[in-house]
Amino acid sequence: MDKILRVNMTDLTVKVEPVPADWAGLGGRALTSTIVAAEVPPTCHPLGPNNKLVFAPGLLSGTAASNANRFSCGSKSPLTGGIKECSAGGTSSGLIARLGYKAIIIEGKPAGDTWYTVVVHKDGATIKPETEVLRLGTFATVQHVNEHYGEDFGVITLGPAGENLMAIANISVKDPESKIRSFGRGGLGAVMGSKKVKMIVVNPEGGVALRLADPAKFKAANQAFTKTLLDHPVSGQGLKKYGTAVLVNVLNEAGGLPTKNFTSGQCAHHDAISGETMYENIVARGGEPSHNCSPSCQIQCSQIYNDKDGNYVTSGFEYETIWALGADGMVEDLDVIAEIDNVFDDIGVDSIETPVMLAVAMEAGLLPWGDGKRILELLRNDITHATPLGRMLGGGTGHVGRAFGMTRIPVVKNQAIPAYDPRPIKGIGVTYATTTMGADHTAGYAIATNILNVGGKVDPLSNDGQVELSRNLQIATAAIDSTGLCLFIAFPALDIPECLGGVIDLLNARYGINLTGDDVIALGKQVLKIEHAFNLAAGLGPETDRLPEFFELEAIEPHNVKWDMDQKELASFWNF
């Protein structure tokens, strides 16, 4: 009874199709990447009618399994030109799964200027012209759905940046508090905008509890699995108390906190922007230090961050955003960073790509270092209203760097490098260079083993063992991204055997199958190979599996190291 929902925006038709046999065992990233590879011509224009946008709940989404209500969005990225998969929380994944849809495929592109809302329901979807929420920010759009459709509806929407077809645009998902979670990277908001879909609304009516092949086994497996999440110091304590911002001081200490557009590995004002400071502010101002981004989350790395008067400012206030604005862009005031984060969510832009781009623009002299007020103007005026300046900024980090003829442009495959300098942390450099996604720490989070000593220890300053580390992590991540589970389960999975065992038991009990650990690894490998083949056919050959040249030319303090991994060794990543 699983179905594929196909929404054609060229002729405004909807089809509910049976799931092809080849796709039956797939979910999340495995399914989005398989569908994109099967149906999108690799050399098509990402914003043209031949690209598709695919949403797929994970294999465990919609069940009671802990941390399993994330879903994937896949497409050809207008930022990288390659395949893209993003994962997001929020409420929609479970709703879609319980409506029986394994995937929603948005395809084609309408002629004319009319925008649309796609209302997904148990019998398919309705495509209706949209005027009321056009040009609204994402918070107001969610509010509109709550008021006009129902508070229990799911929302997947665009901010103005997505309507502007900008490569920094993300796709926003309503979370349990009617705030915003994001398919952040790769400009997927521009793809959705190109299809003139302002929002996808998910009507939960008629959704059913998902059938479990072995309910008792499922329950037991979930208990064992959940215990590991709570027992591990990173997922059970560090992330819960300080959120991901716990990493500010950790990375600063490691000398891998890229500062002032990657000119130093340490930031003098790290304390002011740290997770510890965030926690103190949250507690003092009546916010919530621990908060879930989607139903059933046990880790609760999100938080509610209030201003000095106790009013909501932002949630899902991530390390990478704080790093990019606070260290890379030198904004020293955490409250200003929080306000900017809120605007990122509201206008619908990637909170990594956008601030890394702004730091490049600061180096170019377009705005002063650390000028949060100017950043807010650029976001609220130029990017929102697509002034010519906003158009340039909306192109992202590589775009701005090229406009200024710069050589210090931190991108791989044109996507901004996130919050961990690859020179003193070689493992993450391998991930940036080789992942099919463009620079992306989540694709193979070598920080775990290079810095946090999770899953063993590999010396971050040495090239030895980093390719193998990144490969193993990327394979495991591709599998986890297919389950609907949050990637942070990887911390216990790397250290506590019962964690991965629990995941496998959950899958087996859900579907009545007999997966082994090897099967999971095989799935991860399959996903990476599908994505890699797409990228090669799209023109992203091995020459693009590399870091920007300036990492090879400029040593970074405090370790005074350059990026010096042999390109052949890097290429050996794909030997599996």
Size of the site for a copy of itself (CB under 8 A): 42
Give the strand pairing for 83-88 and 71-76.
Answer: antiparallel
User: Closer to a copy of itself at the Cβ: 44 or 272?
Assistant: 44
User: Closer to a copy of itself at the Cβ: 50 or 126?
Assistant: 50
Which of 70, 185, 227, 546 lies at the binding interface for a copy of itself (CB under 8 A)? 546
- With binding defined as CB under 8 A, does residue 338 bind a copy of itself? no
Number of C-beta neighbours around residue 538 at 10 A: 20
Single out the segment in contact with a copy of itself by CB under 8 A; choices: 63-71, 220-228, 327-335, 545-553: 545-553
- With binding defined as CB under 8 A, does residue 190 bind a copy of itself? yes
- CB 108 → a copy of itself: shortest distance, Å? 12
Which of 149, 312, 369, 404 lies at the binding interface for a copy of itself (CB under 8 A)? 404
Which of 206, 517, 539, 558 lies at the binding interface for a copy of itself (CB under 8 A)? 539
Which of 308, 541, 557, 560 lies at the binding interface for a copy of itself (CB under 8 A)? 541
User: Closer to a copy of itself at the Cβ: 266 or 535?
Assistant: 535
* DSSP-assigned letters across all residues of 360-418: HHHHTTSS-TT-HHHHHHIIIIIIHHT-HHHHHHHT-HHHHHHHTT-S---EETTEE--
Number of C-beta neighbours around residue 405 at 10 A: 7
Element (H, E) at 347: helix 334-347
- With binding defined as CB under 8 A, does residue 224 bind a copy of itself? no
Single out the segment in contact with a copy of itself by CB under 8 A; choices: 90-98, 283-291, 394-402, 465-473: 394-402
Which of 515, 522, 537, 555 lies at the binding interface for a copy of itself (CB under 8 A)? 537
Which of 28, 58, 78, 410 lies at the binding interface for a copy of itself (CB under 8 A)? 78
- With binding defined as CB under 8 A, does residue 28 bind a copy of itself? no
User: Closer to a copy of itself at the Cβ: 81 or 502?
Assistant: 81
Contacts with 256 (C-beta within 8 Å, 6 or more apart), sequence order: 265, 420, 421, 424, 425, 451, 460
- With binding defined as CB under 8 A, does residue 392 bind a copy of itself? yes
Task: Provide, for the chain, the percentages of residues in helix, strand and coil under a 3-state DSSP scheme, each rounded to the nearest 5.
Answer: 45, 15, 40
Q: Is 529 exposed, middle or buried (0-12, 13-18, 19+ CB in 10 A)?
A: middle
User: Which of 432, 341, 426 lies closest to 138, judged by CA?
Assistant: 341
- CB 460 → a copy of itself: shortest distance, Å? 25
Q: How many Cα atoms sit within 13 Å of 345 on the Cβ side?
A: 24
User: Closer to a copy of itself at the Cβ: 42 or 484?
Assistant: 42
Interface with a copy of itself in residues 405-424 (CB under 8 A): 405-407
- CB 42 → a copy of itself: shortest distance, Å? 7
- With binding defined as CB under 8 A, does residue 167 bind a copy of itself? yes
Which of 165, 452, 500, 570 lies at the binding interface for a copy of itself (CB under 8 A)? 165
Which of 2, 25, 50, 525 lies at the binding interface for a copy of itself (CB under 8 A)? 50
- With binding defined as CB under 8 A, does residue 108 bind a copy of itself? no
From CA 404, how far away is CA 180, in angstroms rounded?
Answer: 33
Which of 389, 461, 533, 555 lies at the binding interface for a copy of itself (CB under 8 A)? 389
Residue 198 near residue 130 (C-beta atoms within 8 A):
yes
Rounded CA Rg of the chain: 22
Element (H, E) at 249: helix 247-254
Q: Is 498 exposed, middle or buried (0-12, 13-18, 19+ CB in 10 A)?
A: middle
- With binding defined as CB under 8 A, does residue 517 bind a copy of itself? no
User: Closer to a copy of itself at the Cβ: 42 or 444?
Assistant: 42
User: Which of 207, 224, 11, 189 lies closest to 120, judged by CA?
Assistant: 207
From CA 192, how far away is CA 107, in angstroms rounded?
Answer: 10
User: Closer to a copy of itself at the Cβ: 48 or 233?
Assistant: 48
Which of 14, 230, 376, 403 lies at the binding interface for a copy of itself (CB under 8 A)? 403
Query: Helix or strand or coil: residue 502?
Result: helix
The footprint of a copy of itself (CB under 8 A) covers 42-45, 47-50, 78, 164-167, 190, 193-194, 366, 388-389, 391-392, 394-395, 399, 402-407, 537-541, 543-544, 546, 548-550, 553
